Structure 1
Amino acid sequence: MAKSLQEQLMGAGIVDKKKAKKIKAEKLQTKQKIKNGKLDNTAELERQLELKKQREEKAARDKELNRQRQLEIEYKALLGQIRQFILQNRVRKEDGDMAYNFTDDKKVKKLYVSEVMHKDLSEGRLAIAKLEGQYEIIPNGVAEKIMEKEPDMILVFNTKQAAAEIDEDDPYAEFQIPDDLMW
């Protein structure tokens, strides 16, 4: 059987029966006075309001944490889908003697590819994606879909510039700069 706190205190000898009855009677009288309006219960109301405010703040914090966790789960799922998409659509690397230079995190990287792949990368038919520290070559359609969801995974995706961007006053307008300029 579960004993009340009052019975436990009396059993331990901390409180005697007389004192317990007195406390119980005072508690009952206080409740009756509050009920009849003879006693000001603003302190009790303030305490209840403070407790309610704390519960609401805790609920708001919990809701925000749950939202953040849900966003993390969705982001991990998205990365998993992109990873699978890249692995299914990657183009087999043709080892060649032409170096294709690109930047990754402000560092110049070099990938040796065949002449055909080099031309396709330069013209935008192929793109380079970074997946788990490795560089994968993927078709441009796949790169476009990945760019919509997570643009940081695509390192190289060349697109043709519109001819309208050429400045009419440019003295070098008639001299074209090749995209695959090698040094």
Structure 2
Amino acid sequence: MAKANPLQEQLLKAGLVKKSKVAEVAREQAKARHGKSGTAPSEIELEAQRVRAEKAERDRAIEAERKAAARVTELRAQARQIIRDKKVPRTGESEYRFTADGAIRTLLVNDDLRRKLASGALVIANGGDGYELLPRPAADKVRERDASLIVLDHGQEAGADVAVPTSEDDAYYAQFQVPDDLVW
């Protein structure tokens, strides 16, 4: 037997532990000191670690996509709620035409609503089951959440990318006068 420490010898003499138990503990200590330090992980263990890391990364990516989709859905629902809450009642018999989804759509408005639409004070938004008029502040909130719901915004088009006509174009089209009150 290897040289035992004094505490182990005292416990043996007192009869509190058995000789086999002392030997077992000594073997475990020796194994812990010498056995673990030199062994490198096997290829199977390395492969298992790599597979676990890849799975964890895939799971994180899937969770991030799920959260992003949930966030988009939440923002779209908020935008639709704003449209329902802030819509301006439409009155009038005059038709106001605009394009949406590749087709010409029509809303019945009065002269005051037509002027506000032309100036950009009102915006047309897709309310899901139809088109609604929104005041500018509400339209800005909708645009922050889901810009695709804004169908027509004359106030926004002024800053949008518009083809800048050349002086040749201006000279040619200057001969055609367009009335200010043109309704199509």
Q: TM-score, normalised by structure 2?
A: 0.65
Aligned equivalent of 1:62:
59
- From the superposition, tell whether residues 106 and 76 of structure 1 become closer, same or farther in structure 2 (CA, over 3 Å): same
- From the superposition, tell whether residues 177 and 50 of structure 1 become closer, same or farther in structure 2 (CA, over 3 Å): farther
Query: What is the RMSD computed on CA atoms of the aligned residues?
Result: 2.8
Question: What secondary structure does 1:132 align onto?
Answer: coil
Aligned equivalent of 1:140:
136
Map 1:4-153 to 2 at 5 A.
45-94=42-91, 96-153=92-149
Structure 1 gap segments, 5+ residues each: 1-34
Residues in 1 aligned to 2:176 and 2:141: alpha-carbon distance in whole angstroms: 34
Residues in 2 aligned to 1:166 and 1:140: alpha-carbon distance in whole angstroms: 29
Q: Which runs of 4+ in 1 moved over 3 A?
A: 165-169, 172-180
Structure 2 gap segments, 5+ residues each: 1-34
Q: How much has 1:168 moved relative to structure 2?
A: 5.1
Contact 2:87/2:134 (<8 A) preserved: yes
Q: Alpha-carbon deviations, 1:67-95, whole Å to 9, x = none? A: 1111122122212221222222110111x
Q: Alpha-carbon deviations, 1:38-68, whole Å to 9, x = none? A: xxx99x7111111111111110110011111
**Which residue identity lines up with residue 182 of structure 1 in the other structure?**
V
Question: What secondary structure does 2:42 align onto?
Answer: helix
**Which residue identity lines up with residue 110 of structure 2 in the other structure?**
S
Residues in 2 aligned to 1:108 and 1:62: alpha-carbon distance in whole angstroms: 45
Give the number of the structure whose alpha-carbon radius of gyration is greater.
2
Q: How much has 1:147 moved relative to structure 2?
A: 1.9
Question: What secondary structure does 2:124 align onto?
Answer: strand
Q: TM-score, normalised by structure 1?
A: 0.65
Question: Percent same amino acid at aligned positions?
Answer: 32
Question: What secondary structure does 1:129 align onto?
Answer: strand
Contact 2:76/2:145 (<8 A) preserved: no
- From the superposition, tell whether residues 180 and 126 of structure 1 become closer, same or farther in structure 2 (CA, over 3 Å): farther
Aligned equivalent of 1:18:
none
Aligned residues: 141
